[in-house]
Structure 1
Amino acid sequence: MTTPPRDRVTRLIVALAVTSAIMTSAIMTSAIVLPRAALAEDGQFDKMRARIAAFVADKMEKLGGSRIVYKVDTDGLRESVITDLRDDVYKTLREGKIAFSGLAIRDAGVEVKIADAKGREQLARKLASAAEGLPSHALTVTDGGDGLVRLAPTDAASAARLRDLVEDSIAMIEQRLKDAGINLTSVLPDGTDRIRIFIPGMMEPARVTAVFARKVKVSFRLIDVSMPAEQAQSGTPPTGTEVLPGFKDERHYLVAKDSALDGDDISYAGPGFASGTKDPIASFRFNGRGTRRFAHVTEENIGRPFAIVLDGKVISAPVIREPITGGSGQISGNFTLEEANSVAMLLRAGSLPGHLDLVEQQVVQPAAKP
């Protein structure tokens, strides 16, 4: 899962505006209107990040605060990447009607046996085409002899995936701190797989780490229409179901406890606008495995509503009108743009491979006055 550069720049523009407002009591309009593409290409992104970090460091020296370091789950990332690669290979083989056998994950890569040489060439060509322009998806394809093909991410692709995971984790941390009412922060990469957080004036780091003690839970579940949710709530709900509240409204929903899909099946999520109404929405896209599972679920349950559940609350409950085979969807719910962005961030957080490991937390005392 990759956070587009423009999204990263937008986050920093907002953060810089907030920081500037604190410094001067006025938002710097010139910072907000800088072209996003130019920011990403000429190093402005890193310059703004450094500027925010310098301001927060100055506040830390004067006020003291919390210093927290997390490590991203590199093992979970590797497992996720290889699993997705296997699923992509399977999908490509099936769609191309290429005969194969022995598809398996082995030694940090994927192996498959394809007797036909043209089939092997077709697989390599399609995977290369899909990875074009995506450095994090580059592959090495090795001929193992006797029809055996071995595929594995390149070292450069693995490094790019790790950078993407760190950036996505930073986005999630920033959003969840904001949701917790903690706004003046500096969240930066620390080496290749760690993230450093400075929070001026916060002398209780445990309050912050509690925010990340659990992973955001995202699930897609079918809604049970055998009885009203209110009746199930006041009585005995059907076996295998539970009643959950809505994300924004007072409505309750009777949903299946088992998930048809979960956050690990999401490869991308971001805010946007509905094409017809221009209302803010959160859009998402599934990985190969999620696309197949979602297609199967929607094909088998046409006419039934299903719930998109985020941390135990139903954020949307659309009715399945037809099989959804494209692997993408939209979530609407009378959101403001900020709420749509928050939902998208949390969807991305729910799909981050693994978890964040707490490496260090400490209270930094303010510098002694001369």
Structure 2
Amino acid sequence: MLQIPSWKRILILAVCLFGIVSAAPNLFYGRVEAHNDAIAAAEKAGFETEAQAAARAAWPDWLPSGLVNLGLDLRGGAHLLAEVQLADVYKARMDALWPELRKALADERATVGAVRRAPSDPGVLRVQIGEPAAMTRALEIAASLATPVVSLTGIGQNDLAISAEGDQIVVTLSEAEKLATDNRTMQQSLEIIRRRVDEVGTREPTIQRQGSDRILIQVPGIGSAEELKALIGTTAQLGFHPVIARGSATGTVPGIGQVIYPSVEEKGLNYTLDAVPVVTGEELTDARPDFDQNGRPAVSFRFNPAGARKFGDYTAANIGQLFAIVLDAEVISAPVIQSHIPGGSGIITGNFTVESSTNLAVLLRAGALPAKMTFLEERTIGPELGQDSIDAGSVAALVGMAAVVFFMIASYGLFGVFATVALGINMALIFGVLSAIGGTLTLPGIAGIVLTIGMAVDANVLVFERIREELRTARGPARAIELGYQKAMSAIVDANITTFITATILFLAGSGPVRGFAVTLTVGIITSVFTAIYVTRLMLVFWFERRRPKTITV
């Protein structure tokens, strides 16, 4: 007999209600999106404007507000392919090694003689010693600065390759260290880009590594590729450098280990600085917009313990000296060190506006990119093109659904109507689940939904055909329906498990659009099995209990 316990009926109806209610906000997408954005902006700023309050009031707070995020091809946005200049990191490592090697060699000046840095290619450190006969000892000193490579593939190898050419020590990174450095640099770049993009509140960006030195960046909803480049392309490399000299002369060639940067505050003024900063932006733990003692916009900062110690030691030993604050190869401020600055906190002043100080704080807080990036490919996908994709996908889904509905009703009559109602609930469940998990819908994802529409009634077809077969054996209608579901179950489970495995492989092995297709297909498989086995059967039970037919026609 057809028997479904009351608790199971309530549970099935509750799941259907959840899907419909969770999917409903997508019918009012613009209003709900403005509501969510207003809440997020108010929480981030700590206060709510009148416009945000109006946007928030446009959708009741007590209703669900989860939405299906639209991918780049549906919403429009920016696409960038960036190449990370890994050679910059090699050069920075050699520049940072020079003071340490110079000090180590200077401790044995009586043996190796005078020491100076010789001109070399980027990524190569050449050190000339005064006593070539002591080259063996000099190489031993240089080798003592090497450390083991921190990677699984570099076990047992050192990070420095050291050799001698005449009276010069030649130091480069070993191949194992270069590989480990490349991986660290790419991972750090990915994380910093992700944090910068997240700071502006975009939804579901795609940020992933491609090849050995490239990063794919796709951000839906952003205005243009230029806007995205301005956000992530700014290096925000902050450094605190000792000042060697200052002047307005142009064309001056810096000495070895020195750089010349222009002043932002005073046009035509240049500073000659030590190339190696005392403290860098990587040692910052916090940066936020602030105001100086005169009420002008500024940026306050705080170092980690290591940075605070170096900052405090340097200021204590150089009272009365100029100390340049450098941002992206420009001196934004060069104050005189008035006193020892302990604690590792301070403030950056300059010609800031409130907006520019906020932007600078965001960039510093997200971290400095470890290397510059060259943009090889950039595209802006307008919202009109995204809307065209949505319209085309909607037409395809509606045509597919209309064809399925016509076939089911024409083939199975009233039972086909039950299957059609279950199909509508299935669509609501798909969008409800995607909204609840914050899933992203792409054009291939719409294709997955269209495919699900066809697959969703497949289980019903199996059940209805089995019921037909049971009716031919002159069994009663109740028993025929019961056996129809029992005997079709194995075929339904088998077909959907194999499809589920395929979708899982697509998700794990694919990326971008392929994953979007796999996600919607997987959710569709689960919801279609649920609606075919439970929802359609529950409607049949309600109908049968109400009508009590002596015979049925499928």
Shorter-chain TM-score tier: 0.5 to 0.7
Q: 1:175 to 1:242 in 2, by over 3 A?
A: same
Q: Could you tell me whether the CA contact under 8 Å between 2:104 and 2:141 is conserved in 1?
A: no
What TM-score do the two structures reach when normalised by structure 1? 0.52
Higher RCO (C-alpha 8 Å, min separation 6): 1
In the TM superposition, residue 163 of structure 1 has moved relative to its aligned partner by 2.4
Partner of 2:379: 362
Partner of 1:110: 125
Question: Could you tell me which amino acid in structure 2 is paired with residue 360 of structure 1?
Answer: E
Question: Could you tell me which amino acid in structure 2 is paired with residue 65 of structure 1?
Answer: G
| Residue range with higher mean Cα deviation, 103-112 or 258-267 | 258-267
CA distance in 2, matches of 1:310, 1:110: 25
Deviations 1:325-362 (A, max 9, x none): xxxx83356xxxx999956546634xx34x22111112
Identity %: 16
CA distance in 1, matches of 2:341, 2:344: 15
Partner of 2:283: 269
CA distance in 2, matches of 1:347, 1:323: 23
Residue 71 of structure 1 pairs with residue 83 of structure 2: yes
Deviations 1:260-299 (A, max 9, x none): 56897638324279xxxxxx9333868xxxx89x95x863
What TM-score do the two structures reach when normalised by structure 2? 0.37
**Helix, strand or coil for the counterpart of 1:115?**
helix
**Alignment RMSD, CA only?**
5.0
Partner of 2:190: 170
CA distance in 2, matches of 1:221, 1:103: 19
Partner of 2:140: 121
In the TM superposition, residue 138 of structure 1 has moved relative to its aligned partner by 0.1
Greater C-alpha radius of gyration: 2
Partner of 1:189: 209
Higher normalized strand content (fraction of residues): 1
Consecutive unaligned residues of structure 2, counting only runs of 5 or more, are 1-32, 37-67, 244-261, 288-300, 348-357, 397-554
CA distance in 2, matches of 1:82, 1:264: 13
Residue 91 of structure 1 pairs with residue 103 of structure 2: yes
Deviations 1:31-89 (A, max 9, x none): xxxxxxxxxxxxxxxxxxxxxxxxx9973354343221111123433433333344432
Partner of 1:80: 92
Partner of 2:178: 158
Higher normalized helix content (fraction of residues): 2
In the TM superposition, residue 197 of structure 1 has moved relative to its aligned partner by 0.7
User: Which of 218, 226, 231 is the matching residue for 1:211?
Assistant: 231
Q: Could you tell me whether the CA contact under 8 Å between 1:71 and 1:193 is conserved in 2?
A: yes
CA distance in 2, matches of 1:260, 1:357: 27
Question: Could you tell me which amino acid in structure 2 is paired with residue 104 of structure 1?
Answer: A
Question: Could you tell me which amino acid in structure 1 is paired with residue 303 of structure 2?
Answer: A
CA distance in 2, matches of 1:82, 1:134: 18
Partner of 2:345: 331
Q: Could you tell me whether the CA contact under 8 Å between 2:202 and 2:222 is conserved in 1?
A: no
Deviations 1:182-214 (A, max 9, x none): 454222222111111111233522221233455
In the TM superposition, residue 155 of structure 1 has moved relative to its aligned partner by 1.2
Partner of 1:53: none
Question: Could you tell me which amino acid in structure 2 is paired with residue 331 of structure 1?
Answer: S
Q: Could you tell me whether the CA contact under 8 Å between 1:186 and 1:198 is conserved in 2?
A: yes
Q: 1:308 to 1:202 in 2, by over 3 A?
A: same
Partner of 2:257: none
Q: 1:339 to 1:263 in 2, by over 3 A?
A: farther
Q: Could you tell me whether the CA contact under 8 Å between 2:112 and 2:138 is conserved in 1?
A: yes
Q: Could you tell me whether the CA contact under 8 Å between 1:271 and 1:340 is conserved in 2?
A: no
Trace 1:243-282 onto structure 2 (pairs within 5 A): 258=271, 260=273, 266=280, 268-271=282-285, 281-282=302-303
**Helix, strand or coil for the counterpart of 2:170?**
strand
**Helix, strand or coil for the counterpart of 2:282?**
strand
CA distance in 1, matches of 2:341, 2:228: 42
